[in-house]
Amino acid sequence: MSSVEPRASIRLVISGRVQGVAFRYFTRGEAQRLGLVGWVKNLPQGAVEVRVTGPPEALEQFRQRLRQGPPGARVDAMSESELAAAEAWPDFRITY
């Protein structure tokens, strides 16, 4: 039996009132709390993009928290796509 936990990588695009409400900082905090790695950034059209890697159970918790968002945010839609291979980012960062 392997002690290595399975990992998956996903890309999320979240739209709604997600810019100007500390959504990226909320996202980073949740990712760090769950032990996930990756990055989050604002997109020019007003959405937020997230690329994240971690255990499937932690990713599900992460999705649920992002659907709620921080106070002042409103998530209207969240699209998801699976990335071909688990990325090996060193931590979780806000990128620009």
Domain boundaries, the chain: 19-94
Measured CA to CA, the distance from residue 66 to residue 87 in angstroms comes to 20
Measured CA to CA, the distance from residue 43 to residue 59 in angstroms comes to 22
Average pLDDT over every residue of 17-43: 98
What are the catalytic residues? 24, 42
CB atoms within 10 A of CB 3: 4
**Residues 50-94: tens digit of each pLDDT:** 999 999 999 999 999 999 999 999 999 999 999 987 777 899 999
At 1 the pLDDT is 46
At 4 the pLDDT is 67
CATH number listed for the domain at residues 19-94: 3.30.70.100
At 7 the pLDDT is 87
At 5 the pLDDT is 73
